[in-house]
Amino acid sequence: MIAITIDNRNVLAEPQDTILQAASRNGIRIPTLCYHKRLSPIGSCRICMVEVTGMDKPVPACTTPVAEGMTVETRTERVMELRRTVIRMMLINHPMECHVCGASGSCALQDLAYEYGVAAHEFGEIPVNRRVKPYATPLIPYDPNKCVLCLRCVHACQEIKGIDALSIALRGSLAHIQGERSRCISCGECWQVCPVGALTQAVTDPPTRIHQMEAVTTTCGYCGVGCQMELRVMDGKVWGVTAPDDPEGPNNGSLCAKGRFGFDFIGHPDRLTVPLIREGGRFREASWEEALAYAARKLKEICASHGPDAVMGFSSARCTNEENYLFQKFLRAGVGTNNVDHCARL
């Protein structure tokens, strides 16, 4: 550990820490926007600028390494004003329509503007990019006017997914994110890391503020990776899927298109909702009691006339451990046969 001073507090930092890491390790908050813990430091937003004694210019806390004896000040008039200027710049051309924005309430720009008291369009409006542009995937609309070019999306696509479908197009104030359809896998990683409302989900109808909904952490029901995911729930319905930033999970906060967008089946109108019994070549609805009694009676008859080994059960790799256990227990102990298998071979 090495000793540094942040805002007149003597603190200890790991030698490989950046100023930002050292500060957060010691409970000192430095405002950030582009920084994301699952990404390498980007250094694009310049919100985290701090002053270091001996340096002529402020330095970004997220990319500057600490050094023994360093003295850092995070809230000098100079850097506070710099942050205000940067926020003003981000708000140029920003549609002031937080009330119809999906990110409102979970928007880093909104929070910063509030914290630093920046009102709308202090630099005036510069007419650029006024159009929602086609993005790498049809499932995620991109609004360049809300985009602050923090580049989290680009880095996530590159660093986490290794896909590299996103890049910056054009230069200067015309710069915006451009996606390559042929590379994109619609995993939604970009959407998940977007700190503002530039990326949204096309599949939620009506539009909802997914990030503010209750998050139920569970395990994905598709392939065998077992990704940890958060089902975003409101009014008994799943509206979207995010992934917890859990470095211990098998997916470390990442998902694929199936996990991210394959949730509509949950409350789908095609779902079975009542037990059915076949009668004369077609199904009729039945009560649970009736359906269970019917099935149990027929099973007992078959066992009685043909023996328990005339019964077989196909269990399911889709169901839980508890259910699989119970299923085989039912066949083995209840029915009395080892005729139980599932689709592991398929």
Interface with another protein in residues 230-249 (CB under 8 A): 231, 233, 236-238, 246, 248-249
Contact status: 329 vs another protein (CB under 8 A): yes
Give the number of other Cβ atoms within 10 Å of residue 146's Cβ. 24
Judged by CB under 8 A, the residue of 1, 12, 170, 304 near another protein is 170
Write down the least CB distance from residue 141 to another protein, Å.
12
Name the DSSP letter for residue 277.
E
β-bridge partners, 283: 278
- CB nearer to another protein: give 10 or 320: 320
Contact status: 136 vs another protein (CB under 8 A): no
Judged by CB under 8 A, the residue of 163, 208, 212, 245 near another protein is 163
Contact status: 158 vs another protein (CB under 8 A): yes
Residues 60-79 within binding reach of another protein (CB under 8 A)? 60, 64-65, 67, 70, 78
Number of residues that bind another protein (CB under 8 A): 150
Contact status: 81 vs another protein (CB under 8 A): yes
| Tokens linked to 232 | 């975003």
User: What value, to the nearest 5°, has the Cα angle with vertex 40 and ends 36 and 46?
Assistant: 65
Residues 195-224 within binding reach of another protein (CB under 8 A)? 202-203, 216-224
Rounded distance between C-alpha atoms, residue 181 and residue 165, angstroms: 7
Contact status: 141 vs another protein (CB under 8 A): no
Contact status: 151 vs another protein (CB under 8 A): yes
**Residue with the two structure tokens 């790799």:** 317
Contact status: 310 vs another protein (CB under 8 A): yes
Judged by CB under 8 A, the residue of 30, 45, 190, 198 near another protein is 45
- CB nearer to another protein: give 103 or 150: 150
DSSP one-letter string for 212-249: GSEEEEEE-SSSTT--EEEEEEETTEEEEEE----TTS
Residue 261 burial by Cβ neighbours in a 10 Å radius (0-12, 13-18, 19+): buried
Q: Write phi, then psi, for 241 (nearest 5 degrees).
A: -130, 130
Judged by CB under 8 A, the residue of 25, 71, 212, 294 near another protein is 294
Contact status: 10 vs another protein (CB under 8 A): no
Site string for another protein, 249-288 (x = CB under 8 A): xxx--xxxxx--xxxxxxxx-xxxxxxxxx----x--x-x
274: amino acid identity, one letter: V
- CB nearer to another protein: give 99 or 268: 268
Write the CB contacts of 253 (distance below 8 Å, at least 6 apart in sequence): 38, 160, 192, 243, 244, 245, 246, 247
Rounded distance between C-alpha atoms, residue 312 and residue 292, angstroms: 17
